Amino acid sequence: MYRLACIQLQIDEQCCTSRTRFQNWIEAPLQRLRSRYQDEPIYAFYPEHIGSFTIFSGSNQIALEGAETLEQAAAALIKRSLPRVLWARLYRAPQGWMPALAAVHRDIFQEVYWEGMAAAAKKYGLWIAAGSCLWPDFKTRGVYNQSWLFDPKGRAVDTQQKVHLVELEGSRGFQLKEAPTAKIHRWDSAPIPTAAAICLDTFHDDVISQLSGGSPAILYQPSANMGPWSPWQQEDWMRGCHRRVWEQQLFPMGINPMLTGSFLDLTFEGQSSIASASEYTRRGYLDMPSDPGFAAVSCRYSGDDILVASAPQAME
């Protein structure tokens, strides 16, 4: 029986400044899981954007010195790489300076995030739904918020891009490109069929209609809520994974790992959770009434945490 592990991670500037630090950060929860569950099969789920800030790793971390905001750090990095960024703006990522910067440093995303996740999956012998990372696609000349699926041998076996972008990702932020809804698909190569809908996509019917129906799949909602975990935000969050699983019964289970912590002027808060279509025990977010439909909810909206549930037997 697969253990489904919903991993809540706290970010800071130091997590992403080298491959070693990033590796230690993402492997810490896997060490705990392997210590507890030994040789049992594990499917681990990471939060949104955990790889996006690795652009500041290696020699690029100098851009963080003296910076108080992400905009200031990005500007320093653009200035440092200006000739290459100008070329990328013309030929690789014409939609903005941030995409051009990401295109220039795709090798960093590859080496630190992508290879780091692959190495972690292989080292601990488990499946990883690897949160997400900024990812330049030179064929479409765009940069996307993209998630990956890795098998226990460290091979990337599937991917998913985000359709609906939040303010951080839009024209005033990362200037990402929206993925076509038609490209959204299920990860049927996963050990448990998985419907990956990156954060805000879970709230949108066009994405969910692409993922639901047919044979059962677990819903995977990697998230990075940029703002306070207020009572309003908690109430609004109930429209996501919990509604799709419990109220609409579209999926037997839903995994919602959250990024927490701060990176320069960005603050992330949120309680990770595992929703279940057959769980009648009442649980809930901190300021919300307890409701059925939650198999597990983190007791904190900041800091690290791991929630574990067993995969529905009918799906294995």
Confidence grade of residue 302 (pLDDT, cut at 50, 70, 90): very high
Give the bridge partners for 145, in sequence order. Answer: 134
208-242 confidence digits (pLDDT tens):
999 998 889 999 999 999 999 999 999 999 999 99
**Least trusted range by pLDDT, from 42-51, 171-180, 183-192:** 171-180
**CA gap 248, 244 in Å, rounded:** 5
- pLDDT recorded at residue 313: 72
| pLDDT computed for residue 280 by the predictor | 86
DSSP per-residue codes, 146-214: EEEEE-TTS-EEEEEE-SS--GGGSTTTT-PPPPPGGG---BTTSSS-EEE--GGGGG-HHHHHHH-SS
Read off the pLDDT of each residue in 20-47 and give the average, rounded to a whole number. 97
C-alpha torsion 145→101→263→21, nearest 10: 90
Q: Which two tokens stand for residue 109?
A: 């995303």
Q: What is the pTM of this model?
A: 0.97
Domains and their CATH numbers in the chain: 3-315 (3.60.110.10)
Q: What is the pLDDT of residues 185-207, one digit of tens each?
A: 999 999 999 999 999 999 999 99
